[in-house]
Amino acid sequence: MASLRMQGLKKRFGTMEIIPSLDLEIADHEFVVFVGPSGCGKSTLLRIIAGLEPITEGDLFIGDQRVNDLTPAQRDIAMVFQDYALYPHMTVYQNMAFGLQMRHTPQAEIDARVQNAARLLDIEPLLKRRPRALSGGQRQRVAMGRAIVRDPKVFLFDEPLSNLDAQLRGQVRSEIKALSQRLKTTMIFVTHDQVEAMTMADRIVVLRGGVIQQVGAPEEIYGRPANRFVAGFIGSPSMNFLPVNLADGAAHLPDSRTLNIGTALRGTAVLGIRPEHFIPAPEGTGMPVDVTLVEPLGSDTLVHFLVGDIKCIARVAPDTRPHVGERLPLSVAPGKAYLFDPETGARLA
């Protein structure tokens, strides 16, 4: 159990800069999720913490100890790999016991810890099997068991759910979250899936091109995105973005329609509206849109429409069932219109 601190951390592969310079602190017992698109440096960052990639510049502390030059073995971390990386020639028991044997833990304690973790993960009947006789979900549990028995300072998860089918993914997601609350260990979880990030994290770190875009609690990242990238990345379907001209408290849209958003700002901006923040307006008010596609999801309905030539999506109540081609008046929920700088992408309001 330990905190984690990165100071001026840089990573280059040859001349390619993966992480330009990164500062981040992770508190003891915190569940932090690194999220971002492919190639954003999140896995590299995790591998740096694990000691599997050397640091080009800067410092990494686990607890109070600077660990730059420590091997993975010396850092007292445990990692769950994306492909699980179980030892194929060992049984489930041996896979879980291996890390403890390497650390010369007494056999009785190894046995107790493995049995305990197996009970926790519900894999007791599998202990004598080899990995090739397990299903994907079972392998995933064994990989977690191998990490749990070690009782490490920090748990690292490298996209551990990406190889599971959708149903199992949801189940394991809740299990990992429950586990984190029970184990009270510092956990760092890497994913490109914003739903995983939102549902599991105490704090989310959004990365892009090796640069932290925003660090915050899930509701903060969702409700107060720092910039257009974060706003577009978090939330599904993504936030709608429209280039607008601001004048007299209203946003003038590309197709010369006007949307009243009550802002004091003036000039050009990018208007961001989440699909769920569009609300059907009474006839004769709001912004009438021509429906191009309707996707009923059961719990709600996605309505596609065009503003100029920009595709937009609104998420409306399931009983709102417009037809394709129908004209539907929409307005924006009060205080839910985001404005971004068209050049820098920073949030203006």
> Which positions lie near other proteins, rule CB under 8 A?
50-52, 71-73, 77-79, 81-89, 98-99, 102-103, 130-134, 136, 139, 146, 150, 163
User: At closest approach, how far in Å is the CB of 167 from other proteins?
Assistant: 17
Do residues 36 and 192 lie in contact, with contact meaning Cβ atoms separated by under 8 Å?
yes
User: At closest approach, how far in Å is the CB of 185 from other proteins?
Assistant: 15
User: At closest approach, how far in Å is the CB of 209 from other proteins?
Assistant: 25
User: At closest approach, how far in Å is the CB of 10 from other proteins?
Assistant: 22
For residue 43 the two structure tokens come to 């896995």
DSSP bridge partners of 304: 293, 313
User: At closest approach, how far in Å is the CB of 78 from other proteins?
Assistant: 7
> In this structure, which amino acid lies at residue 72?
P
Nearer to other proteins, 78 or 127 (CB): 78
Angle between helices 136-148 and 92-102 (to 10 degrees): 20
User: At closest approach, how far in Å is the CB of 202 from other proteins?
Assistant: 23
Composition of the chain by helix, strand, coil, percent to 5:
30, 35, 35
**Nearest-angstrom CA–CA distance, 329 and 278:** 10
For residue 163 the two structure tokens come to 């190889």
Nearer to other proteins, 84 or 278 (CB): 84
Nearer to other proteins, 82 or 260 (CB): 82
CA nearest to 146, candidates 186, 106, 95, 183: 95
Nearer to other proteins, 136 or 254 (CB): 136
Nearer to other proteins, 66 or 103 (CB): 103
SS3 60: strand
Q: What angle do CA 47, 53, 59 make, to 5 degrees?
A: 90
**Nearest-angstrom CA–CA distance, 158 and 1:** 19
Nearer to other proteins, 150 or 203 (CB): 150
